[in-house]
Protein backbone atom coordinates (compact mmCIF):
# COMPACT_ATOMS: atom_id res chain seq x y z
CA UNK A 1 0.00 0.00 0.00
CA UNK A 2 1.72 3.17 -1.25
CA UNK A 3 -0.84 5.76 -0.19
CA UNK A 4 -1.28 6.84 -3.80
CA UNK A 5 -4.74 6.20 -5.18
CA UNK A 6 -5.95 6.55 -8.75
CA UNK A 7 -9.42 6.65 -10.23
CA UNK A 8 -11.00 5.13 -12.10
CA UNK A 9 -9.26 1.75 -12.23
CA UNK A 10 -10.59 0.95 -15.69
CA UNK A 11 -12.05 3.09 -18.45
CA UNK A 12 -13.23 2.59 -22.02
CA UNK A 13 -13.42 5.58 -24.35
CA UNK A 14 -14.09 6.13 -28.02
CA UNK A 15 -11.51 7.58 -30.38
CA UNK A 16 -11.75 11.38 -30.45
CA UNK A 17 -13.18 11.69 -26.96
CA UNK A 18 -11.54 13.36 -23.99
CA UNK A 19 -10.63 11.69 -20.69
CA UNK A 20 -9.65 12.85 -17.21
CA UNK A 21 -7.75 10.58 -14.85
CA UNK A 22 -7.31 11.42 -11.16
CA UNK A 23 -4.59 10.81 -8.60
CA UNK A 24 -4.46 11.38 -4.88
CA UNK A 25 -0.86 11.48 -3.82
CA UNK A 26 0.76 10.39 -0.59
CA UNK A 27 0.50 12.88 2.23
CA UNK A 28 3.40 15.33 2.33
CA UNK A 29 4.61 14.64 -1.21
CA UNK A 30 4.55 17.83 -3.25
CA UNK A 31 5.76 16.29 -6.51
CA UNK A 32 3.53 14.16 -8.70
CA UNK A 33 4.44 12.52 -12.00
CA UNK A 34 2.40 10.74 -14.63
CA UNK A 35 3.52 7.80 -16.74
CA UNK A 36 2.08 5.88 -19.66
CA UNK A 37 2.77 2.16 -19.85
CA UNK A 38 1.92 0.27 -23.02
CA UNK A 39 1.62 -3.49 -22.89
CA UNK A 40 5.01 -5.16 -22.53
CA UNK A 41 6.89 -1.88 -22.14
CA UNK A 42 8.29 0.04 -19.22
CA UNK A 43 6.50 3.17 -17.98
CA UNK A 44 7.17 6.31 -20.06
CA UNK A 45 7.33 9.69 -18.36
CA UNK A 46 4.59 12.10 -19.43
CA UNK A 47 5.08 15.08 -17.11
CA UNK A 48 5.73 16.14 -13.56
CA UNK A 49 4.12 18.75 -11.32
CA UNK A 50 5.73 20.46 -8.36
CA UNK A 51 3.66 22.78 -6.20
CA UNK A 52 0.97 23.16 -8.89
CA UNK A 53 3.41 24.02 -11.71
CA UNK A 54 4.52 21.74 -14.54
CA UNK A 55 8.15 20.94 -13.82
CA UNK A 56 9.27 18.66 -16.60
CA UNK A 57 7.71 16.97 -19.59
CA UNK A 58 8.45 13.91 -21.62
CA UNK A 59 7.94 13.34 -25.33
CA UNK A 60 4.14 13.60 -25.37
CA UNK A 61 1.98 15.94 -27.51
CA UNK A 62 0.12 18.95 -26.03
CA UNK A 63 -3.17 17.06 -26.00
CA UNK A 64 -1.76 15.46 -22.86
CA UNK A 65 -2.17 18.03 -20.11
CA UNK A 66 -2.36 18.05 -16.36
CA UNK A 67 -3.21 19.88 -13.19
CA UNK A 68 -2.01 19.74 -9.63
CA UNK A 69 -4.20 21.12 -6.85
CA UNK A 70 -3.25 22.82 -3.57
CA UNK A 71 -3.71 19.52 -1.72
CA UNK A 72 -1.21 17.99 -4.22
CA UNK A 73 -3.78 15.75 -5.86
CA UNK A 74 -3.53 15.72 -9.62
CA UNK A 75 -5.35 15.17 -12.90
CA UNK A 76 -4.21 13.94 -16.28
CA UNK A 77 -6.30 15.08 -19.23
CA UNK A 78 -6.04 13.62 -22.70
CA UNK A 79 -7.91 15.24 -25.59
CA UNK A 80 -8.74 13.77 -28.99
CA UNK A 81 -8.05 10.22 -27.89
CA UNK A 82 -6.28 7.92 -30.34
CA UNK A 83 -6.22 4.14 -30.39
CA UNK A 84 -2.52 4.20 -29.39
CA UNK A 85 -3.44 5.99 -26.18
CA UNK A 86 -4.68 2.67 -24.86
CA UNK A 87 -2.37 1.91 -21.93
CA UNK A 88 -1.96 1.75 -18.18
CA UNK A 89 -1.60 5.28 -16.80
CA UNK A 90 0.39 5.54 -13.61
CA UNK A 91 0.65 8.34 -11.13
CA UNK A 92 3.59 8.60 -8.75
CA UNK A 93 4.30 10.91 -5.86
CA UNK A 94 7.91 11.45 -4.94
CA UNK A 95 10.01 11.86 -1.85
CA UNK A 96 13.74 12.20 -2.47
CA UNK A 97 14.59 9.63 -5.13
CA UNK A 98 11.92 7.08 -4.20
CA UNK A 99 8.68 7.29 -6.15
CA UNK A 100 5.45 5.81 -4.81
CA UNK A 101 3.16 4.59 -7.57
CA UNK A 102 -0.57 4.11 -7.61
CA UNK A 103 -2.17 1.00 -9.04
CA UNK A 104 -2.87 2.76 -12.32
CA UNK A 105 -5.83 3.40 -14.58
CA UNK A 106 -6.29 1.02 -17.50
CA UNK A 107 -7.55 3.10 -20.43
CA UNK A 108 -8.88 1.38 -23.52
CA UNK A 109 -9.64 3.46 -26.60
CA UNK A 110 -11.92 1.83 -29.15
CA UNK B 1 20.14 10.36 -17.99
CA UNK B 2 22.18 7.19 -18.27
CA UNK B 3 20.78 4.37 -20.35
CA UNK B 4 20.54 0.93 -18.79
CA UNK B 5 20.71 -2.56 -20.27
CA UNK B 6 19.20 -5.62 -18.57
CA UNK B 7 18.39 -9.18 -19.63
CA UNK B 8 14.88 -9.41 -21.03
CA UNK B 9 13.96 -12.44 -18.96
CA UNK B 10 15.23 -14.88 -16.34
CA UNK B 11 13.92 -18.14 -14.91
CA UNK B 12 14.50 -19.47 -11.42
CA UNK B 13 13.13 -21.98 -8.92
CA UNK B 14 11.77 -21.41 -5.47
CA UNK B 15 14.43 -21.15 -2.81
CA UNK B 16 17.22 -20.12 -5.17
CA UNK B 17 19.16 -16.87 -5.08
CA UNK B 18 18.58 -14.71 -8.15
CA UNK B 19 21.04 -12.14 -9.43
CA UNK B 20 19.95 -9.64 -12.08
CA UNK B 21 22.71 -7.54 -13.60
CA UNK B 22 22.23 -4.12 -15.14
CA UNK B 23 24.75 -2.27 -17.31
CA UNK B 24 24.97 1.52 -17.19
CA UNK B 25 28.22 2.49 -18.89
CA UNK B 26 27.43 6.20 -19.04
CA UNK B 27 26.53 6.68 -15.38
CA UNK B 28 27.28 10.18 -14.12
CA UNK B 29 29.00 11.17 -10.89
CA UNK B 30 25.77 12.27 -9.18
CA UNK B 31 23.67 9.34 -10.40
CA UNK B 32 22.23 6.77 -8.04
CA UNK B 33 21.09 3.28 -9.04
CA UNK B 34 17.54 2.30 -8.15
CA UNK B 35 15.60 -0.91 -8.68
CA UNK B 36 11.83 -1.22 -8.93
CA UNK B 37 9.57 -4.29 -9.00
CA UNK B 38 6.31 -4.42 -10.92
CA UNK B 39 3.53 -7.00 -10.83
CA UNK B 40 0.97 -7.16 -13.67
CA UNK B 41 -1.56 -4.33 -13.65
CA UNK B 42 0.09 -2.63 -10.68
CA UNK B 43 2.42 0.32 -10.36
CA UNK B 44 6.16 -0.23 -9.86
CA UNK B 45 7.36 -0.59 -6.29
CA UNK B 46 10.70 0.66 -4.97
CA UNK B 47 13.05 -2.15 -3.92
CA UNK B 48 16.46 -0.69 -3.23
CA UNK B 49 18.79 2.17 -4.08
CA UNK B 50 22.55 2.60 -3.90
CA UNK B 51 25.50 4.69 -4.98
CA UNK B 52 28.51 2.39 -4.54
CA UNK B 53 29.70 -0.88 -2.96
CA UNK B 54 26.89 -2.83 -1.30
CA UNK B 55 23.46 -1.95 0.06
CA UNK B 56 21.19 -4.42 1.82
CA UNK B 57 17.64 -4.16 3.07
CA UNK B 58 15.00 -6.62 4.18
CA UNK B 59 14.16 -7.78 0.66
CA UNK B 60 17.29 -7.49 -1.47
CA UNK B 61 20.95 -6.58 -1.82
CA UNK B 62 22.51 -4.31 -4.39
CA UNK B 63 26.11 -4.77 -5.44
CA UNK B 64 27.90 -1.94 -7.26
CA UNK B 65 31.55 -2.33 -8.38
CA UNK B 66 34.05 0.47 -8.03
CA UNK B 67 33.65 1.70 -11.62
CA UNK B 68 29.82 1.84 -11.16
CA UNK B 69 29.27 0.83 -14.79
CA UNK B 70 27.07 -2.05 -13.72
CA UNK B 71 25.07 -3.20 -10.73
CA UNK B 72 23.57 -6.48 -9.56
CA UNK B 73 20.29 -6.90 -7.74
CA UNK B 74 20.36 -10.00 -5.57
CA UNK B 75 17.14 -11.62 -4.35
CA UNK B 76 17.80 -14.30 -1.72
CA UNK B 77 15.68 -17.47 -1.68
CA UNK B 78 13.01 -16.37 -4.16
CA UNK B 79 9.42 -17.54 -3.90
CA UNK B 80 6.62 -17.75 -6.46
CA UNK B 81 5.45 -14.29 -5.36
CA UNK B 82 8.72 -12.78 -6.60
CA UNK B 83 7.60 -13.42 -10.18
CA UNK B 84 7.53 -9.90 -11.61
CA UNK B 85 9.32 -7.43 -13.87
CA UNK B 86 12.38 -5.79 -12.34
CA UNK B 87 13.58 -2.39 -13.57
CA UNK B 88 17.01 -0.86 -13.12
CA UNK B 89 17.08 2.95 -13.20
CA UNK B 90 19.91 5.43 -13.04
CA UNK B 91 19.52 9.11 -12.20
CA UNK B 92 20.47 11.96 -9.92
CA UNK B 93 18.37 12.80 -6.87
CA UNK B 94 16.58 16.12 -6.89
CA UNK B 95 19.11 17.64 -4.47
CA UNK B 96 21.85 16.99 -7.05
CA UNK B 97 19.91 18.71 -9.79
CA UNK B 98 18.13 15.64 -11.00
CA UNK B 99 14.45 15.52 -11.80
CA UNK B 100 12.73 14.06 -8.80
CA UNK B 101 9.83 12.44 -10.59
CA UNK B 102 11.25 11.83 -14.05
CA UNK B 103 12.28 8.21 -13.94
CA UNK B 104 13.59 6.57 -17.11
CA UNK B 105 12.40 2.98 -17.33
CA UNK B 106 13.70 0.46 -19.83
CA UNK B 107 11.84 -2.74 -20.63
CA UNK B 108 13.02 -4.42 -17.44
CA UNK B 109 13.78 -8.06 -16.68
CA UNK B 110 10.87 -10.46 -16.44
CA UNK B 111 11.66 -12.91 -13.66
CA UNK B 112 9.70 -16.16 -13.60
CA UNK B 113 9.97 -18.25 -10.45
CA UNK B 114 8.89 -21.87 -10.79
CA UNK B 115 7.95 -24.35 -8.05
Per-residue pLDDT tens listing for chain B (115 residues): 568 999 999 999 999 999 999 999 999 888 889 999 999 889 999 999 999 999 999 999 999 999 999 999 999 999 999 999 999 988 876 555 455 557 778 889 999 999 9
% of chain A exceeding 90 in pLDDT: 64
% of chain A exceeding 70 in pLDDT: 95
Q: Residue A28 in contact with residue A73, Cβ under 8 Å? A: no
pLDDT score recorded for residue B54 = 96
**Range with the lowest mean pLDDT among A26-30, A49-53, A73-77?**
A26-30
Q: Which residue of B40, B84, B91, B102 is the best one to mutate when testing the A interface, meaning the one whose CB has the most A CBs within 10 A?
A: B102
Cβ pair B42:A104 closer than 8 A: yes
pLDDT score recorded for residue A50 = 83
pLDDT score recorded for residue A51 = 83
Residue A13 confidence (pLDDT) above 60: yes
Which residues of B are less than 8 Å from A44 in CB distance? 105
Contacts of B58 (CB under 8 A, 6+ apart): none
What mean pLDDT value characterizes chain A? 91
Of A40, A92, A104, the CB nearest to B101: A92
Cβ pair B93:A98 closer than 8 A: no
φ/ψ of residue A4, rounded to 5: -105, 120
Cβ pair A96:B44 closer than 8 A: no
Amino acid sequence: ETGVTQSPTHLIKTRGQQVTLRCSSQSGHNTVSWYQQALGQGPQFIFQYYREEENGRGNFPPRFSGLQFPNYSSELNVNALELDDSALYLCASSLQQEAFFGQGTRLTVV
Amino acid sequence: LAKTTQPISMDSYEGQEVNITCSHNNIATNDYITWYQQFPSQGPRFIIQGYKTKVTNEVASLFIPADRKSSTLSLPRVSLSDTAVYYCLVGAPAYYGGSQGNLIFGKGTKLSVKP
